[in-house]
Amino acid sequence: MYYDVPFVPTPEVVVRRMLQLARVRPGEILYDLGSGDGRIVIMAAKEFGAVAYGVEIRKDLYEQSMAKIKDLGLADKARIINASFFDVDISDADVITMYLLTSVNERLKPKLEKELRPATRVVSHDFEVSGWRPVVVEEVYEEWRSHKIYLYKIPGKEIPVPSGKSVDVNDPKLKQILALIDGVNSLEEIAQKLGTTIRDVRNAVKKLADAGLVDEIKVVK
Ligand SMILES: C[S@@+](CC[C@H](N)C(=O)[O-])C[C@H]1O[C@@H](n2cnc3c(N)ncnc32)[C@H](O)[C@@H]1O
């Protein structure tokens, strides 16, 4: 069977730095595209509190990494999907990690641009996404060689639009978020102001929309 990339694991120090650079926060959703032995997924769930998915085409690696996840008691936070990453919906991701090849990144680029929301972070070990401008490029020295980490952020903004209606909101967190919804602030800016995640703000905005206080989330690319 033909695979797009062979299995070469990312050293642990590099994995940790990738996740730190992406600022993975508890409850955020991460996908590792081509997850190998599951090390990125496992560390993201165990050390960073993420809900982590790996996508791995090789059945043996899928089975091996799922067994490790179960042994570590992480099955509620981590899961491997045995499929090709070209076929898996990744639109709910907050963070994508990959260690592939520049040519494969190039083929994945249209999918990433189509499915990922603005402000999603994409971290690539050693191989660039050509045509994208990285926010950070870092070199990490590990035993016998140095590794490059490229951090990208999907451009654009998601802006919640207030409906102008006034309805009493009792939940203090929803109230705080509602006060920042002015049709200008993006989900990311609101999250930064409140020290929380975009995912948290998006979930709160959905509740406010159900209560008739927010009309829509406008996506500006
Ligand atoms: C270089 S390894 C990286 C493994 C892991 N992400 C890490 O950094 O340690 C790339 C992995 O991608 C898998 N792979 C290759 N083509 C794939 C595809 N189309 N869909 C899913 N996985 C794929 C390979 O089997 C391999 O395990």
Give dist(CA 22, CA 172) in Å, integer.
29
Compute the distance from residue 4 Cα to the ligand 1 centre, in Å: 8
Of the chain, the end-to-end C-alpha distance in Å amounts to 39
User: What are the extents of the domains in the chain?
Assistant: 12-153, 157-220
- Distance set, CA 194 to CA 115, 153, 170, 188, 200 (Å): 26, 20, 18, 10, 10
Cβ of 40 less than 6 Å from ligand 1: yes
Burial class (CB in 10 A: 0-12, 13-18, 19+), 52: buried
Query: Full-prediction pTM beyond 0.75?
Result: yes
User: Is residue 121 in contact with ligand 1, taking CB distance under 6 Å?
Assistant: no
Ligand 1 geometric centre to CA of 107 (Å): 14
Instruction: Give 170 Cα–ligand 1 centroid separation in angstroms.
Output: 47
CATH topology of 12-153 equal to that of 157-220? no
Residue 32: Cβ within 10 Å count? 31
Supply the residue whose CA is at minimum distance from atom 26 of ligand 1.
Answer: 7
Determine if ligand 1 sits within 6 Å of the CB of residue 32: yes
Give the domain 157-220 fold: Arc Repressor Mutant, subunit A (1.10.10)
- Measured in Å, residue 159 CA sits from the centre of ligand 1 at 35
Ligand 1 atom nearest to CA at 58: 25
Alpha carbon 57 to chain centroid, angstroms: 20
Query: Alpha-carbon torsion 110, 114, 119, 125, what sign?
Result: negative
For the domain made up of 12-153, give the CATH fold.
Answer: Rossmann fold (3.40.50)
**From ligand 1's centre to the CA of 99, what distance in Å?**
7
Mean pLDDT for the chain overall? 96
pLDDT of residue 2: 66
Question: Is pLDDT of 3 > 80?
Answer: no
**CB of 65 closer than 6 angstroms to any ligand 1 atom:** no
CA gap 154, 157 in Å, rounded: 9
Give the residue-averaged pLDDT of 178-202.
97
Instruction: Lowest mean pLDDT of 9-13, 77-81, 165-169, name the range.
Output: 165-169
Distance, CA 148 to ligand 1 centroid (Å)?
A: 18
> What is the number of the ligand 1 atom nearest to the C-alpha of 15?
8
| Spatial separation of the C-alpha atoms in residues 41 and 32, rounded to whole Å | 7
What confidence tens digit (pLDDT) does each residue in 36-54 have?
A: 999 999 999 999 999 999 9
Question: Can you give the pLDDT at residue 1?
Answer: 61
Mean pLDDT of 158-163: 97
Using a 6 Å cutoff on CB, does residue 10 contact ligand 1? yes
Ligand 1: atom nearest CA of 39 is 9
Atom 2, ligand 1: which residue's CA is nearest? 7
C-alpha 76, offset from chain centre: 18
Q: Whose CA is nearest to atom 9 of ligand 1?
A: 9
- The answer to which of 79-83, 88-92, 141-145 has the lowest mean pLDDT is 141-145
